[in-house]
Amino acid sequence: MSADVKRNQVMQPARPTTQSPAVLWFCSTIAWGATLLLLAGCSASHYQRSADKDTYSIVQHVEARLFGKTNAFTIDTPYSGRKPTDILPPELIEDRLQTNRRVLSLDAALDLAFSRSRAYQMQKETLYLTALSLTGARHAFSPQFFASSDARVSPTDGGAVVHNQVGMDQLLKSGGSLSLTLANDIINDLLHYYNGDPQRSIISTISVNLAQPLLAGAGMNHPAVEALTQAERNVIYAVRTHAFFQNQFSLEIVNDYFTLLAQKDTIRNRYANYLSRGLSTRRLEAREDREQLAAIDQARQSELSARNTYVNEVARYFTALDLFKIKLGLPLGERIFLDDTALAEVKQVGLLPVPLDPVLGYRLAVRWHLPTLNNIDAFEDTKRKVRLAADALKPGLTFFADASLRSDQPVDYTHFDLKQVRTGIGFNLDLPFERRQERNNYRAALVRFEEQVRDLTLSLDELRDDIEEGLRTVAQRRQNYQIQTNALALANRRVESSTLLQQAGRAEVRDVIEAQDAQISAQNAVTDALVSYQRVRLQLMLDIGALKTVADKFWLKDHLTDFMPGPVPVAATAAAAAEQPVIPPDQLFEK
C-alpha cells in the first residue's frame, strides 16, 4: 500500500456505519419541500380558467344587479384556445386574403359586428380587465396562507439550520390586520456529528398578532378598504359603459348600413339619370338637321357629366363598403351585397313621431342615460376622497395585541406548555405634529371635488343640449323630408313637361337639363332625408336612455311610447305628424 493511500486513510475522520437521523431529516425536508413545490404548481391554463370563472361571475352579478338580467359574457376569440407561440404572422397575413361572397342583411351585419369587430372585442376586454382587478382587491381581504422552508448549511461553524414556517395573514374590513404564524427551527451541529456525538435542537413558535387603527385609517377610511370600494364601483361603471357601447355600436352599424343603402339608391338614380340624358342626346342627334349644333353639344356635355358623376358615386360607394367591412372585422377580399329590404321597410313605416318635451327628455336622461349615471357616481367618488383625505389629518391611534408560545426544549407543535404563553396589548399613538403632506392632500382633494362639480354640471348641460338639439333636428329632418317629397313630385312633372315641350320645339335643351338636374337632386334628397331622420331619431332615443337594441329590428320600433312615464299626448303626436308652418324671422327672434 502506498504512502499516499495510508496518509489519506489517516486524515479521513471515522464515519458511523449508519447515517444520522438529523442528516436523513435534513435531506428528506429538502426532498419533500421540492415535491410539494412541484405538486402545488398548477398549469397556466388552470389559472386562466380560474380567473375567467371569478371575473365572469362578477360581471354577471353586477349586470343582474343593475339591469335585472344578464347575458352570456366571454372574451374568447378563435385564437384564445391556442398557444401564442403557435400563432405566426404568415397565418394572419393569409387570413386577411380570404375571399367569400355573402348577401348581408342588417341583422346579419349586427351579428357579424358583435362576433368579429375589433372595437367591440376591445370594449369587452376593458370590462374584463376591470372586473379582474376587483378579484385582486377582494382577495386582499381573504385569508392569505403562506408556507416556506429554508435550509442552510454553514461550513465555517459546522451548523445546519432548517427553518419551517406556515401561517395566515388577514386584512379586516375594519382596517385592521390579523396574522397567525407557526414556525419551527431545527439546528444540527455537524461538528459534533462527525465526532460521533450528534447534537440537535428544535425550537418551535406559535404567534398571533392583531393591529387595529382606532382613529386615522379606521374602517372605511383605511386605504385598502377604500381600494376595494373603488374597485367595486369601477366594475359598475365598466358594466354601464359596456352596455351603453353595445347600444351605441349597434346604432353605428345600423346607421352605416342605411348610409350605404342610401348610396346604392343614389347610384341607381345617377345611372337612370345618365341613361335619360343619353336618350335625350340620341333624340337630338337624330334631328341634327333641325337642331342647332350648340344644343346637341350641350346635351352631350350633360350626358358626359352624368356619366362622370355616376362613376364617382360608384367609387365612393365601394370605398365606404370597404370601411364597413373593416368595422365588421371582415377581410377586404370578401364580396358583400347589402340587402335593400331594410330601406324598403323604413320607407313603409315612415317617419315615427317623437312627441317629447325637452325638460321631460332631460329628466328621463338623468335617470336612464348610462354615461350620465357614471358621471353622477364619479362625483360621489370625489366626495368620498375628501372624507378620506380629512381622515388622514387625525392622530394615528392603533390598538395592538399579540400572543406567542415558544418552546425551549426539543418539542413539536403538539407538546407546548400553555403556561409559557406570552401575551401583550397596547396602543401606538401618532400625534399630528407634522401633517404637511396630509394637509396638501386634503386641499388637493377639495380642489378636485370642485373640479368634478364643474365637470358634472358641464356634462349635464351637454346632455340637455344634445336632447334639445336632437328634438330640433328631428323636427327639421321631418320638414326636410316633407319638402323634398313635394319637390320630387314637382321635379318629375317638370321633366315630363319640359321633355314634351322640347320635342315639340317649344322648349330649349337647357330647360330639359335643368329639369333633370332638379329631378336627380330631389330623388337623392328624399332618400337622404329619410335616412337622416331615422339616424337623428334613434340617436335621440340613445341620448335619453330609451333605445333598446336587443329588440328585433329595433330601428323600426317606437321606443318612446313604452318608455314615457305616462301616455303619449295625442295632440303632440298629431302636431308632430302634420306639416309644420313656416315661422317668420321676426316672430322667431321677437323679445
Is residue 15 included in any domain, yes or no?
A: no
The partner residues of 208 in beta bridges, in order of sequence, read 180, 403
Is residue 301 included in any domain, yes or no?
A: yes
108-162 pLDDT tens trace: 999 999 999 999 999 999 999 999 999 999 998 888 888 887 877 766 555 667 7
255-268 pLDDT tens trace: 999 999 999 999 99
What is the spatial distance between Cα 293 and Cα 300, in angstroms, rounded to a whole number?
11
Is residue 459 included in any domain, yes or no?
A: yes
Kindly report the pTM of this predicted structure.
Answer: 0.82
Is residue 60 included in any domain, yes or no?
A: no
- Check residues 195 and 86 and name the one with the higher pLDDT: 86
Residue 9 confidence (pLDDT) above 70:
no
C-alpha cell at position 466: 344634445
Residues 417 and 404 sit within 8 Å (Cβ to Cβ): no
Which one-letter DSSP state was computed for residue 215?
A: S
H helix or E strand, kind and range, residue 148? strand 144-154
Is residue 10 included in any domain, yes or no?
A: no
Number of structural domains the chain divides into: 1
* 178: nearest Cα among 403, 406, 413, 416: 403
Is residue 259 included in any domain, yes or no?
A: yes
Is residue 39 included in any domain, yes or no?
A: no
CATH code: domain of residue 232: 1.20.1600.10
Domain, as residue range, for 322: 225-377+443-583
501-549 pLDDT tens trace: 767 777 677 777 888 888 888 888 999 999 999 999 999 999 999 999 9
Is residue 145 included in any domain, yes or no?
A: no
406-418 b/e with 16+ CB inside 10 Å = b?
Answer: ebeeeeeeeebee
What is the spatial distance between Cα 81 and Cα 77, in angstroms, rounded to a whole number?
8
315-364 pLDDT tens trace: 999 999 999 999 999 999 899 999 999 999 999 999 999 999 999 999 99
